[in-house]
Structure 1
Amino acid sequence: MSHDGVGPRAVMRSVAFLTAGALAVTALAGCGSEDPAGKPLAGADIRPAARADVADGGTLRWGVDTVPATLNTFQADADATTTRIAQAVLPSMFRMDSRGRPVRNPDYLESAEVVDTEPKQVVLYRLNQQAVWSDGREIGAADFAAQWRALSGKDSAYWTARNAGYDRIEKIERGKGNLEVKVTFSRTYADWRSLFSPLYPKEVTGTPDAFNDGARKKLKISAGPFKVKKVDREDDEVTLTRNPRWWGAPARLKKIVLREVPRDERISALAEGEIDLAEIDPGAAERITVAARPKGKGQNEPLMGPGDGKSGRSAAEALRSWAVAKGSDEEAADEEAAEREERAEAAAEYAREQKALAGFEVRKSLEPAYTQLALNGAEGPLADERVRRAVARALDRKALAEAVLKPLGLPSEPVGSHLALSGQAAYADNSGALGEQDAAEARALLADAGWVPGGPVKEKTKDEGEGKEAAGSEKSSGEESGESGSDDDGTYIVGEENDGNDGNDGNDGNDGNEDDAGDDGKAPRNSATLDGEGQLAHDGTARHKQGGAPGAYAPKGTAAPANAENAPVAKNGKALTLRFVVPSGPGSDALRTVAERISRMLKKIGIRTEISKVDDESYFKDHIASGEFDLALYSWPATAYPATDARPVYAKPVPGADGSLNVAQNYTRVGTDQVDQLFDQAITTLDDSERSALLRKADSRIWAAAGSLPLYQRPQLVAARKNLANAGAFGFRTPVYEDMGFLKKGAQGPGKSSPSQSRLN
């Protein structure tokens, strides 16, 4: 999974934490008549078609990130492809609808409801009487019970990555008949719908050996519209075929082949006809969009620029190349001729690919996941809540969302919740608990924490007296604010160039909240001055320290130099510089762009950042999980069960028996007792509206603690063959695999690709 879409659910780490102080939070949304959950910002884009318009047969070749190491979704190394396979071949009691909310899956369930709450919660499942495993056996209570025992956490012989909810079950038994399953909980569990999705047969979960090893490479028994035919790790493919015992609507496709294709090779794979469907990056999406345009005047320009087409060389450069190739210097001419031949071949290949890509289209939506800025509160400057809040108040989250999503034609609203996305039951925009972008307030928070303009300490020389004060502690901003803070050792420090428009907030290069000059045009409105202790006065003016050395401090009311508000802030002679870690892989371009924009925004309040690009494979293990960062960007999924799934992400770290700190999935190491208590209340509250209110309250306090800042919902870009129906960018919705297929010839409409391109067989 790319780091802009990271969804690890069971990674454990250890480091310290910082609790949030007593902060006022906004009134809970939802008190009025309007539902604060709103609607999804973007719907699914799958080219929906009636099953009658979809041809019977054909093979869908689906490009994926990996051939999974395991087919068991409950193991630690399960990945997104594991989930895709499970959705197609295994029972799922509930699935997600277009709003990211759980709905009963009628192929498996006649009904499921809480039938008792006193003295204990009891859920009764009534199964579809046609539901059977691929070996002909009925799906029943024995399968539910075996999965509960495997995932309860009571038997350490089972290597499980998660057991949330299963650990609250007391017993499972048959109801009045084979089609009823009665589940009794020892402790009330509000997210009971999350259980048994997927459901494995008892042959997989019945013994530790079968669970740990048997289901890693094979699934001999399944119960979905498809079954696993073959896992070929040599050819990097997993083949799914129709399940002949499937009782639901018959699968339109004969086969689905999930083929591992690296992201940077997917354009070529699409053009070569090796895959029909695959998630792609924005650059690939642009190529497909250009290729699909109607050919006419103004519609046929090469994507890479004039000259040599793919090379992007200008006309002048192309002319010079021709002159050298035809010149009298034979050696230079031969070299240039060879290069020209290579460029011509590349251009021809590029043109051939573009022609082939005309048979595809880009389907786009927003993933059920959001990208956030994580602030490590374990140690260093960000251990101070005021500094974290200053970072938050410096950011224009709307501009960051627009930078990523607007060029893609997707809604670019910033995410307002840590626990849900727009449209989901628990969603409400609670960012008001932290406050909107306000550079002046951010500087005041830094000053209150002791970080003031001045720059780093200058080494004393023999000529300097012992009583001379270090720069950045007692000096006024006017004396040292001109220090650039730039490095000479190659460290990537963003923002040491001039303060021109950075292109991210649409303003004139200032902080986005104020003009450089005050209302009277005489001095910058935010030209903060320092008091005698190096602190900002609350009214933005200097408090003169009585008894100070004459001339050491500017008279009260003296305007600071231009751009003084952008001067590096320092404390105890040390400049405030934060380590910003980003992945270096080709699929993380958007993250690096966002990191640079954030760095420029922070520079405007005096915070410098050192951006470190690290290998994708070591990004989480060696940096995020180990706490080796101040700032980092990664993504979290927004599930339908935040009381269960989000709790370990925001729970207060707790000391272990060995003295270390268990932070679960709380990478930021920021947590509070109050947030934990609200999660605990939510997980035992069966009333849906009351539970949503508790989760929104918890989210407000998570915002106030400023350990993480949701930025934008992740884009979902999918390349799909034009005549492929009911597949593409699914958004929240669980894919309906039996409805996927290639349109019949008569149902395609004008300009659509031929069925022969889809390899119907």
Structure 2
Amino acid sequence: MSHDGVGSRAVLRSAAFLTAGALAVSLLAGCGSDEEASRPLAGQDIDLVARDKVAEGGTLKWAVDAVPETLNTFQADADAGTTRVAQAVLPSMFRLDAAGRPVANPAYLESAKVIETEPRQVVQYKLNQQAVWSDGREIGAADFVAQWRALSGRDSAYWTARNAGYDRIEKIERGANDLQVRVTFSRPYADWKSLFSPLYPKDVMGTPDAFNDGARRKLNVTAGPFKVEKVDTATKDIVLTRNPRWWGKPAKLNEIVLHAVDRDKRAAALADGTVDLADIDPAEAERINLASRQGGTGTPLQGAGKTSAKKLRSWALAHGFDADEVKVGKKKLRRAITRYLEQQEKLHAFDVRKSLEPAYTQLALNGAEGPLTDERVRRAVARAIDRTELAKLVLTPLGLPAVPVGSHLALSGQADYADNSGALGGPDTKEAAALLADAGWVLGGPVKEQKKAEKAAGAESTKKKEDQSDGGDDGQYIVGEDDKGRDDKGKHHESAEEKTEKAEKGEKGDEGGKHLSRDGKQYSGGQGGAPGAYAPKGTAAPAGAVTGPLAKDGKALALRFVLPSGPGSETLNSVAERISAMLEKVGIRTTITKVSDESYFKDHVAAGDYDLALYSWPSSAFPATDARPIYAKPVPAADGSVNVEQNFTRVGTDQVDQLFDQAASTLDEDEARDLIRKADSRIWAAAGSLPLYQRPQLVGARNNLVNAGAFGFQTPVYEDMGFLKKGAKVSPSPSAS
């Protein structure tokens, strides 16, 4: 499994299933429809051809991470394999286009639109009159009703992972005829296009038992170009075959076999014919490219034993062999190299298709405990990091555009995208050092506690300076919405949100990013005034990069950087090492801790046992719904615990929550876009997470396989996939740059 990887919207946004796998622009307050739309940074790369060039028949063997535990995408243990099956065998009222925007799916819909807004929002679906389930029954209102009732959250007997949107539905009715479905909402819902995609038959959704257990290993009734033939955990296969009742353009392939293959074994699986199509890591992509360029790699084997063990080991290391693999004896190493070369010959029949995934990798900063509870420290971390450099580190060697992601809530090409990183500020080590000094972190090792007499004298000598500054008694800040950002002297300190609001209005806020609050928290040690003004006597304000460790209250400023350790984590490790070097320049020490793949997310990220971590989130066409639980302000639960939903950084504000709620409740698309962008600006300002780069999408594909590969944003069209007819040619794919 790729530790930086992500699954689908239905999986990750709803079920908290995650794996591993900041900026100097002006603040955008939210832009209207007259703004020039952004474009995807990379197009899809699928060897796109017309259907008449695709041969009839054949089996596509497609690698997945694992045989899914469930085929119900609305359950908590659904994964990317679950979604792949659902896309091929179930209706979706809307699917995503090449820019990641929802478009009506003509196989199932003639039209879908809001027909009333007062007194209630009403959406009318006109279904394709040919659309039927595989048992011959028409797709209709009964299926919509069953799915609504299962996912509404009103019946706890349904073990659902999410109910967002379905909980706003008041009723569903048959329209003027059987092909019309009227959905009435109890309150406005902007993201109504996210619903009923996928749509399950009433056989699955009709009762709790059927929902909870009936679709875990089988789907007896489907309505797509393919149907589920069998799920075989012994062979690690899911077999999809043509659906004889499919009314659309017939599938070109006879079968699609989804076969579970570990990430680090996929080049070998491609070579031996186990799979024809597989997401791969950069190292395996380079193997395929090398085979394609050279038809092989040359050989260090010259007869029986002429090449020394030292030369064999050197050659093996240069060609990507693991260090442990080359420690074996000469005979075993020769056999390993022989197998490798045989695979390289077979990999000549494959190519690498590349694009950017509809997902981004972020640096998460745990704001629940330790130094990062102080917003100034989080902002200092962010301003010490050059995100462009990190994007180049990952993407430039792959020939992909190295542009840092400027939004938490959308990616370039999507309607809601705007670069709001200016709300935080550009990379600047001087500003980072100033923020740390303002928070009380100073050079010179652990700070020794002053004697009582010295404290009294110091307090008297600095009283005048304090009275003239924005600071409060003893440097304490009581923050949160109830306090209105005022200290115990009644003086006002701007929070990050207030600073952002002023920037949007063109007003001048606090200088230098000082006095930044956290909701409902109280902390001390960071008096107001100019950076460094309240450091120990004789300590100058920082003028450049810090060259030694910082400390406060007898403790050095050190952060624990938690990473996964298994195959596929190499990119994350490289990024983490570069980030650590950047933080070292401002006096922040990091300790990289590598943990097992199995425990990385569950026991560390989700549990809050980290200071810094790297993991990915997918983008969504519906951020008001899907992103809200990721950035929602944690709230105390009845049992005394804290409900963080999917906000694993534990950083959130009431205002961000309100902006999401407003965006989800307006039917004005321009207004919703403006609210989403404002929410993103405030998320940036809080510095709980830093989007770094859009994830590379590398796919190894048999070179005669067409209409499949690196799909980018677009939902795959399963009925068009297949193998190129003999004599037909592929037109050049859109550039990935």
TM range (shorter): 0.7 to 0.9
CA displacement, residues 109-163 of structure 1 (integer Å, 9 cap, x when unaligned): 0000000010000000000000000011100000000110111111111111111
97-106 or 207-216, larger mean C-alpha shift: 207-216
Separation in structure 1 between the aligned mates of residue 167 and residue 336 of structure 2, nearest angstrom? 58
Provide the secondary structure at the position in 1 that maps to 2:562: strand
Separation in structure 2 between the aligned mates of residue 227 and residue 707 of structure 1, nearest angstrom? 43
CA displacement, residues 546-577 of structure 1 (integer Å, 9 cap, x when unaligned): xx8xxxx48x89x99xx972211111121100
Q: Is the 8 A contact 1:25 1:704 kept in 2?
A: no
CA displacement, residues 182-210 of structure 1 (integer Å, 9 cap, x when unaligned): 00011111100000000011111111111
Separation in structure 1 between the aligned mates of residue 448 and residue 259 of structure 2, nearest angstrom? 59
CA displacement, residues 212-250 of structure 1 (integer Å, 9 cap, x when unaligned): 111111101100000000000111000000000000000
- Any stretches of 5+ residues in structure 1 without a counterpart? 14-23, 322-335, 470-532, 751-761
In the alignment, which residue of structure 2 is the partner of 1:478? none
In the alignment, which residue of structure 1 is the partner of 2:109? 109
- Per the alignment, do residues 32 and 226 of structure 1 end up closer, same or farther by CA in structure 2, a change over 3 Å counting? closer
In the alignment, which residue of structure 1 is the partner of 2:168? 168
- Per the alignment, do residues 586 and 125 of structure 1 end up closer, same or farther by CA in structure 2, a change over 3 Å counting? same
Q: Is the 8 A contact 1:444 1:536 kept in 2?
A: no
In the alignment, which residue of structure 2 is the partner of 1:212? 212
TM-superposed deviation, 1:47 = 0.3
For 2:432, give the aligned amino acid.
Answer: A
TM-superposed deviation, 1:27 = 3.7
Separation in structure 1 between the aligned mates of residue 425 and residue 705 of structure 2, nearest angstrom? 45
TM-superposed deviation, 1:687 = 1.3
Separation in structure 2 between the aligned mates of residue 392 and residue 452 of structure 1, nearest angstrom? 18
Alignment of 1:217-296 (within 5 A): 217-294=217-294
- Per the alignment, do residues 113 and 355 of structure 1 end up closer, same or farther by CA in structure 2, a change over 3 Å counting? same
Residue number among 544, 558, 564 corresponding to 1:583 in the alignment: 564
Q: Is the 8 A contact 2:28 2:419 kept in 1?
A: no
619-628 or 102-111, larger mean C-alpha shift: 619-628
Provide the secondary structure at the position in 1 that maps to 2:694: strand
Q: Is the 8 A contact 2:442 2:535 kept in 1?
A: no
Q: Is the 8 A contact 1:279 1:719 kept in 2?
A: yes
Alignment of 1:611-622 (within 5 A): 611-622=592-603
Provide the secondary structure at the position in 1 that maps to 2:188: coil
TM-superposed deviation, 1:654 = 1.3
Separation in structure 1 between the aligned mates of residue 27 and residue 626 of structure 2, nearest angstrom? 24
Separation in structure 2 between the aligned mates of residue 202 and residue 123 of structure 1, nearest angstrom? 20
In the alignment, which residue of structure 2 is the partner of 1:447? 437
Q: Is the 8 A contact 1:371 1:714 kept in 2?
A: yes
Separation in structure 2 between the aligned mates of residue 80 and residue 101 of structure 1, nearest angstrom? 20
Alignment of 1:460-609 (within 5 A): 553=538, 565-609=546-590
In the alignment, which residue of structure 2 is the partner of 1:75? 75
Residue number among 386, 393, 397 corresponding to 1:396 in the alignment: 386
Q: Does 1:415 align with 2:402?
A: no
TM-superposed deviation, 1:534 = 11
TM-superposed deviation, 1:349 = 1.3
- Per the alignment, do residues 93 and 585 of structure 1 end up closer, same or farther by CA in structure 2, a change over 3 Å counting? same
Q: Does 1:65 align with 2:46?
A: no
Separation in structure 1 between the aligned mates of residue 292 and residue 722 of structure 2, nearest angstrom? 21
In the alignment, which residue of structure 2 is the partner of 1:317? 310
- Per the alignment, do residues 191 and 466 of structure 1 end up closer, same or farther by CA in structure 2, a change over 3 Å counting? closer
Provide the secondary structure at the position in 2 that maps to 1:694: helix
Separation in structure 2 between the aligned mates of residue 442 and residue 279 of structure 1, nearest angstrom? 38
Q: Is the 8 A contact 1:151 1:166 kept in 2?
A: yes
Alignment of 1:701-740 (within 5 A): 701-740=682-721
In the alignment, which residue of structure 2 is the partner of 1:655? 636
In the alignment, which residue of structure 1 is the partner of 2:498? none
Separation in structure 2 between the aligned mates of residue 42 and residue 5 of structure 1, nearest angstrom? 18
In the alignment, which residue of structure 1 is the partner of 2:31? 30
- Per the alignment, do residues 412 and 308 of structure 1 end up closer, same or farther by CA in structure 2, a change over 3 Å counting? farther
Separation in structure 2 between the aligned mates of residue 646 and residue 412 of structure 1, nearest angstrom? 24
Provide the secondary structure at the position in 2 that maps to 1:417: coil
For 2:693, give the aligned amino acid.
Answer: Y
TM-superposed deviation, 1:355 = 0.5
Q: Is the 8 A contact 1:230 1:238 kept in 2?
A: yes
Q: Is the 8 A contact 2:356 2:694 kept in 1?
A: yes
- Per the alignment, do residues 348 and 25 of structure 1 end up closer, same or farther by CA in structure 2, a change over 3 Å counting? closer
TM-superposed deviation, 1:659 = 2.0
Separation in structure 1 between the aligned mates of residue 286 and residue 698 of structure 2, nearest angstrom? 10
Separation in structure 1 between the aligned mates of residue 409 and residue 313 of structure 2, nearest angstrom? 58
For 2:49, give the aligned amino acid.
Answer: A
TM-superposed deviation, 1:2 = 3.2
In the alignment, which residue of structure 2 is the partner of 1:333? none
For 2:718, give the aligned amino acid.
Answer: Y
How large is the RMSD of aligned CA atoms in angstroms? 3.0
For 1:181, give the aligned amino acid.
Answer: V
Separation in structure 2 between the aligned mates of residue 602 and residue 574 of structure 1, nearest angstrom? 17
Q: Does 1:425 align with 2:415?
A: yes
Q: Is the 8 A contact 2:438 2:531 kept in 1?
A: no
- Per the alignment, do residues 540 and 123 of structure 1 end up closer, same or farther by CA in structure 2, a change over 3 Å counting? closer
Q: Is the 8 A contact 2:366 2:372 kept in 1?
A: yes
Count, aligned residues: 638
Provide the secondary structure at the position in 2 that maps to 1:747: coil
Given the two structures, how large is their TM-score scaled by the length of structure 2?
0.82
- Per the alignment, do residues 468 and 575 of structure 1 end up closer, same or farther by CA in structure 2, a change over 3 Å counting? farther
Q: Is the 8 A contact 1:414 1:713 kept in 2?
A: yes
Provide the secondary structure at the position in 1 that maps to 2:170: strand
CA displacement, residues 89-121 of structure 1 (integer Å, 9 cap, x when unaligned): 000000000000000000000000000010000
Provide the secondary structure at the position in 1 that maps to 2:576: helix
Provide the secondary structure at the position in 1 that maps to 2:215: helix
Q: Is the 8 A contact 1:25 1:701 kept in 2?
A: no
Separation in structure 2 between the aligned mates of residue 260 and residue 319 of structure 1, nearest angstrom? 32
Q: Does 1:691 align with 2:672?
A: yes
Residue number among 612, 622, 645 corresponding to 1:664 in the alignment: 645
Separation in structure 1 between the aligned mates of residue 394 and residue 248 of structure 2, nearest angstrom? 41
- Per the alignment, do residues 650 and 730 of structure 1 end up closer, same or farther by CA in structure 2, a change over 3 Å counting? same
TM-superposed deviation, 1:350 = 1.4
CA displacement, residues 430-473 of structure 1 (integer Å, 9 cap, x when unaligned): 0000000000000000000000111236899xxxx99999xxxx
For 1:229, give the aligned amino acid.
Answer: E
Q: Percent identity?
A: 68
- Any stretches of 5+ residues in structure 2 without a counterpart? 18-24, 315-325, 456-523, 732-737
Separation in structure 2 between the aligned mates of residue 564 and residue 171 of structure 1, nearest angstrom? 61
- Per the alignment, do residues 427 and 466 of structure 1 end up closer, same or farther by CA in structure 2, a change over 3 Å counting? closer
Alignment of 1:115-194 (within 5 A): 115-194=115-194
Separation in structure 2 between the aligned mates of residue 406 and residue 275 of structure 1, nearest angstrom? 28
Separation in structure 2 between the aligned mates of residue 543 and residue 383 of structure 1, nearest angstrom? 20
Provide the secondary structure at the position in 2 that maps to 1:3: coil
Separation in structure 1 between the aligned mates of residue 103 and residue 534 of structure 2, nearest angstrom? 62
CA displacement, residues 347-369 of structure 1 (integer Å, 9 cap, x when unaligned): 22111110000000000111110
In the alignment, which residue of structure 1 is the partner of 2:333? 343
In the alignment, which residue of structure 2 is the partner of 1:527? none
For 1:375, give the aligned amino acid.
Answer: L
Provide the secondary structure at the position in 1 that maps to 2:727: helix
Separation in structure 2 between the aligned mates of residue 468 and residue 690 of structure 1, nearest angstrom? 57
Separation in structure 2 between the aligned mates of residue 537 and residue 198 of structure 1, nearest angstrom? 54
Q: Is the 8 A contact 1:723 1:748 kept in 2?
A: no
- Per the alignment, do residues 110 and 294 of structure 1 end up closer, same or farther by CA in structure 2, a change over 3 Å counting? same
For 2:380, give the aligned amino acid.
Answer: A
Provide the secondary structure at the position in 1 that maps to 2:405: coil
Given the two structures, how large is their TM-score scaled by the length of structure 1?
0.80
In the alignment, which residue of structure 2 is the partner of 1:484? none
Q: Is the 8 A contact 1:5 1:370 kept in 2?
A: no
In the alignment, which residue of structure 1 is the partner of 2:607? 626
Provide the secondary structure at the position in 2 that maps to 1:746: coil
